[in-house]
Amino acid sequence: MDKRKLLLPVLFVALGVGGFATLRATRPQSVPVPAKEPSWRIDTLTAAPGPTARP
């Protein structure tokens, strides 16, 4: 009975580690997404020469 108390938790942990390793080994490969440069909306003004204020 004493060995059974020790063996059962070890078996559960081993099954969990084995399941995790299986899922990780068979996961689908993700395609890397290229980085996209952000575009910012801005307002612009056209500068035109005007009269100068020289005395």
Q: 9 vs 4, 23, 36, 51, CA distance in Å?
A: 9, 21, 49, 89
pLDDT tens-digit profile of 13-47?
A: 999 999 999 999 999 988 888 888 888 898 988 88
The Cβ-side half-sphere exposure at 9, using a 13 Å CA radius, reads 4
Q: How many CA atoms lie within 13 A of 52 on its CB side?
A: 2
Show me where the domains of the chain are located.
1-25
pLDDT confidence bin for 53, thresholds 50/70/90 = low
Q: What share of the chain is helix, strand, coil (3-state, %, to 5)?
A: 45, 0, 55
pLDDT at 25: 95
* pLDDT of res. 30: 87
For the ranges 1-5, 17-21, 29-33, 51-55, the maximum mean pLDDT occurs at 17-21
Give me the pLDDT at residue 5, please.
85
